């Protein structure tokens, strides 16, 4: 995946969801697909942000 952008972060209760847009090359067909991953962050007990999930 090649990251091409980051969308506006979304607050969901104590979570922060950050959409990351990218391209993924389909080598057999010779073209790229737009893909989207969500990074989920939450503050740990020390109040530091941690990535807890990527979808």
pLDDT along the chain (55 residues), means of 10: 85 94 75 84 94 94
What is the pLDDT, as a whole number, of residue 29?
67
What is the pLDDT, as a whole number, of residue 35?
85
Let me know if 42 is exposed, middle or buried by CB neighbors in 10 A (0-12, 13-18, 19+).
middle
Task: Calculate the alpha carbon distances from 38 to 18, 23, 24, 33, 42 in Å.
Answer: 6, 14, 15, 16, 13
The DSSP annotation for the chain comes to -EEEEE---EEETTEEEEEEEEEEEETTTTEEEEEEEEEEEEE-TTS-EEEEEE-
């Amino acid at each position: 995946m090649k990251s091409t952008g980051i969308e506006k972060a979304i607050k969901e209760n104590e979570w922060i969801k950050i959409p990351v847009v990218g391209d993924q090359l389909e080598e057999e067909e010779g073209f790229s697909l737009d893909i989207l991953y969500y990074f989920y962050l939450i503050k740990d007990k020390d109040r530091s942000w941690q990535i807890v999930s990527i979808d």
